[in-house]
Structure 1
Amino acid sequence: MMATFVLVHGSWLGGWAWERVAPRLRESGHTVMCPSLAPAGPRVGLRTHIAEIVALIDRHALTDVTLVGHSYGGMVITGAGYERPQHIRQLVYLDAFFPSPGQSAFDLQPVLRDACDAAAALRPEQEAWLIHPFGFETMGLAAADLEWVTARARPLSRATHEEPLPEPASGHPHPPATYIRFGDSPFFADTANTALRRGARLLTIEGAAHMAPISDHERVGAVLGRTI
């Protein structure tokens, strides 16, 4: 069965983060889109990124979409799922936030808010609305991959993590969810259990670290192919 995948990246990354996963899916005959979310700006927040994915679905008249979100991308795909549920086959969360309406990323991971606050305290006050990249060295990347990611990563707007997930916009049922836990990632272990309790199908890639779309792309691509 062929599918249309829209892959949504995590914090500080871009569509380039899927450069190793996308070819495997395309080789299997799937259509794959890897948008880059809007870069940092004073008015760029979670709602901006949700609107971008909704606009992509509308612009290309996509239907039966498998919408995939990694890390922060889980916030975005959940919002898009509320906006265009009738166009989405399923939402797939890769070691990602799994929010309910009214929750922000910082609400779900207060420790992340604390880390961002500590980092912001070391920078000029006029940059308070920015979150600069940090922590990639804890995400299971080999030295060459760490250098590659660090060179490409860009700041994001704090509003992306402060804005709460909007309430559903329509009366359509939310699309079904699959949660893929990365076994060696400590960041979303509890979230995977929450997703399971809320009815998501739960899969695990044992031994995978948080940046598995880069460091373990073969297995990530294979598991995504099996979700459809």
Structure 2
Amino acid sequence: MATFVLIHGGGDVGWAWHLVEAKLRARGHDTVAPDLPSEDESADLGAFADAVVEAVGDRGDLSDRGARGDLVVVGHSYGGFTAPLVADRLSADLLVLMAGMIPSPGEAPCDWWANTGHSDAVAKQAEIDGGLTGSDDPYILFYGGVPRSLAEEALRRGQGRGGSSATYDAPWPLAEWPDVPTKFVLFREDRFFPADFYRRLAPERLGITPDELPGCHCAMLSRPRELADQLVAYLGSTEPARAERAAVEGERNGSVKR
């Protein structure tokens, strides 16, 4: 069994993961998908991470991690700024960004767009697909392929939750990427973050080649089975890191006993 901590993006809520959660729980895994305090204008990225850690509760206890299985932190879209903070605090076994924004140390979310060349990538892809990428219509931009009723419910639940200025304007607080194995997933039909954009950015910022899945930006609502399959497939990659951490913990405990 593993525990998957699922962090939603901007203008969204934990409900966005409910179909993926059902798939993971059907396989015997545990899930946590909290709402970030996006409506609180004073909440910064630290407060976002606090909310997730609190929701995880004793599932994040390192002393009981072996019995509970892997702890996997997943961040979608703007959740990419929060997920590494949570993974670092909880010494997660794995960090997965799904079309997640990849921050650099000291980089504020408001600066990320220009720093990464996002607008140029959108314009280039829009020339290819006739303006679908970067569309003003949220049903095209975010929810292409999502059943209309689900997309409408997602928009209803996300009203007023675009994110606080305290998170958007403040520098990302980590001095370096956390020492946690990291995977990246891009969605091939994403009209908000074009696939080619992340084919370039993930190697540049993380030094890894992204895995690719079909689906729109909010693929957790259009392709929940594929997302769950990919997350479960990643579990085998955590074994070396877990063994190394267990060895370190054993040495630490042995030194205390002496």
What's the TM-score bracket when you normalise by the shorter of the two chains? 0.7 to 0.9
Residue matched to 1:88: 92
From the superposition, tell whether residues 57 and 192 of structure 1 become closer, same or farther in structure 2 (CA, over 3 Å).
farther
Letter of the 2:46 counterpart: R
Residue matched to 2:154: 149
Do the aligned partners of 2:76 and 2:100 also contact (CA within 8 Å) in 1?
yes
Residue matched to 1:219: 226
Q: TM-score, normalised by structure 1?
A: 0.78
From the superposition, tell whether residues 161 and 173 of structure 1 become closer, same or farther in structure 2 (CA, over 3 Å).
closer
Residue matched to 1:52: 51
Q: 2: distance between equivalents of 1:80 and 1:188?
A: 26
Do the aligned partners of 1:101 and 1:168 also contact (CA within 8 Å) in 2?
yes
> Which deviations, in whole Å up to 9, do the C-alpha atoms of 1:182-209 show, x marking residues without a partner?
011141532343323433352110x311
Do the aligned partners of 1:176 and 1:200 also contact (CA within 8 Å) in 2?
no
From the superposition, tell whether residues 110 and 159 of structure 1 become closer, same or farther in structure 2 (CA, over 3 Å).
farther
Q: CA RMSD in A?
A: 2.7
Q: Aligned to 1:78, which of 72, 80, 84?
A: 84
Q: Aligned to 1:99, which of 103, 106, 129?
A: 103
Please state which structure has a larger fraction of its residues in strand. 1
* 2:211 paired with 1:203: yes
Show structure 2 runs of 5+ residues with no match: 120-135, 236-258
* Identical counterparts, % of pairs: 27
**What secondary structure, in the 3-state scheme, does the structure 1 residue paired with 2:184 have?**
strand
> Which deviations, in whole Å up to 9, do the C-alpha atoms of 1:21-50 show, x marking residues without a partner?
101001111111111111412311222102
Q: 1: distance between equivalents of 2:203 and 2:51?
A: 28
Letter of the 1:136 counterpart: P
Larger Rg: 2
Q: Aligned to 1:66, which of 60, 72, 77?
A: 72
Q: 1: distance between equivalents of 2:74 and 2:158?
A: 20
Q: 1: distance between equivalents of 2:27 and 2:48?
A: 28
From the superposition, tell whether residues 142 and 53 of structure 1 become closer, same or farther in structure 2 (CA, over 3 Å).
same
Please state which structure has a larger fraction of its residues in helix. 2
Task: Quote how far apart the aligned CAs of 1:147 are.
Answer: 1.2
Q: Which runs of 4 or more aligned residues in structure 1 lie more than 3 Å from their structure 2 counterparts after TM superposition?
A: 54-64
From the superposition, tell whether residues 51 and 177 of structure 1 become closer, same or farther in structure 2 (CA, over 3 Å).
same
> Which deviations, in whole Å up to 9, do the C-alpha atoms of 1:94-120 show, x marking residues without a partner?
011111211122222149xxx9xxxxx
Q: 1: distance between equivalents of 2:175 and 2:30?
A: 27
Residue matched to 1:123: none
Residue range with higher mean Cα deviation, 66-75 or 184-193 = 184-193
